[in-house]
Structure 1
Amino acid sequence: MELQITNLDGKGVGSVTLKDDVFGLEPRVDILHRMVRYQQLKAMAGTHKVKHRSEIAYTSKKSVKQKGSGGARHGNKAAPQFRGGGRAFGPEPRSHAIDLPKKVRALALKHALSSKVKSGELLIVDTLASQQAKTADLRKTLGAREWTNALIIDGATVDANFALAARNIPQVDVLPVQGINVVDILRRQKLVLTKAALEALEARFA
């Protein structure tokens, strides 16, 4: 498949042929779902924690005498059945991460890229080089090209002025090519790749 290469102003500066084994797959929802779940579970902090009976700073004195109260025979007030007592079977800090084979993760990224090509939402630009870090100017440029909800991927390093100008624009994410991932691709409407990012991706899957 051949796509036009443009500059940030939308003027054509050439074309490029995309590799079918990376950008020409029929997107599979099941693989994308597995990858999204893998990423989201891995990102969970897992720091939820409650205090158990042994961690409660409460009196350990027997609350009522053993017999004659007419009620149950209770001891330590830190027991879970009392108000202010420890929690029974509460959550503990743990990792929510699941395993996913490396080949499946690589395949999921290919399917995510292919889904953007199929929907016509993949765009190639020659460079993101910007003379000034002006958010207002960049917002106008992106608005004119209808990139109001976009993931923009540069090469190994992102142009410093462009990154500064874009970081305050809502629903626009800018990442170096090594940070590209399935969740960010799917949650943004447009996917914009520079020539350097495209070459790095094709080399990665070669």
Structure 2
Amino acid sequence: MKLGDMELRDDVFNVEVKRHILWEVIKWQLACRRQGTHSTKTRGELSYSGRKLLPQKGTGNARHGDRGANIFVGGGVAHGPRPTDYYYSLPKKVRKLGLKMALSSKAQEGKMLLFDSINIGDVPKTKKAIEFLNSNGIKDIKVTIVIPEKDEIVMKSFRNLPNVKVLPAEGLNVYDILWADVLAIQKQAIEKIYERLSS
């Protein structure tokens, strides 16, 4: 497959796209991102006294135990959420295939572009980042930019732009590829992607 003046490998950028594989990988990826720190207190964890509110019989009121019962405002929660680890394993083979399919879908739809470099300078400048987007005709749309390796100056320059994500080749993932309207890859990052998918 050819894009611009560069020949791309068909086994990475021209794979048959299967929606179910992409769905599986994204579901796994989002599950791994979940913190799972949600928690509520049961009646046994509250700091109320365990004293019985009123006698069991003879008052004409309903039968109650202590103040921490779940039917009272401020009482414990019955069957509430507890800290949970949502991680589950997905075969490496499936994860790699999902990444290839995501890259292929952007290439086949014509929503991928290659560029030589990003000239920001020695300090982060959002203005330079916007100039880069304008020069490539990718303004006002969601863009994922892939660079060969982590570059703090480039990443900080794009950080204030809500519709732009910058990822090193090692951090490339299915969710961020499919999230974007355009996938912009630096030419030097292509070899890094090949290395990652062949290891």
- The alignment's TM-score, normalised by the length of structure 2, stands at 0.90
Please give the per-residue CA displacement for 1:39-96, whole angstroms capped at 9, x wherever unaligned. Answer: 1111111111111111111121111112212344322221212222111111100112
Pick from 50, 63, 67: which aligns with 1:60? 50
Give the Cα–Cα distance (whole angstroms) in 1 for the partners of residues 2 and 36 of structure 2.
45
Give the Cα–Cα distance (whole angstroms) in 1 for the partners of residues 143 and 50 of structure 2.
59
Pick from 79, 86, 92: which aligns with 2:76? 86
Give me the identity figure in percent: 38
Give the Cα–Cα distance (whole angstroms) in 2 for the partners of residues 200 and 19 of structure 1.
13
Q: Deviation of residue 144 (structure 1)? A: 3.6
Equivalent in the alignment of 1:9:
none
Equivalent in the alignment of 1:205:
197
Give the Cα–Cα distance (whole angstroms) in 2 for the partners of residues 164 and 190 of structure 1.
20
Pick from 136, 140, 147: which aligns with 1:145? 136
Equivalent in the alignment of 1:2:
2
- The alignment's TM-score, normalised by the length of structure 1, stands at 0.87
- Map 1:114-193 to 2 at 5 A: 114-131=104-121, 133-148=124-139, 149-158=142-151, 160-193=152-185
Q: How many equivalent residue pairs?
A: 195
Aligned partner of residue 205 in structure 1, secondary structure: helix
Unaligned 5+ segments in structure 1 are 5-14
Unaligned 5+ segments in structure 2 are none
CA contact (8 A) 2:145 2:164 kept: yes
Pick from 69, 80, 90: which aligns with 1:100? 90
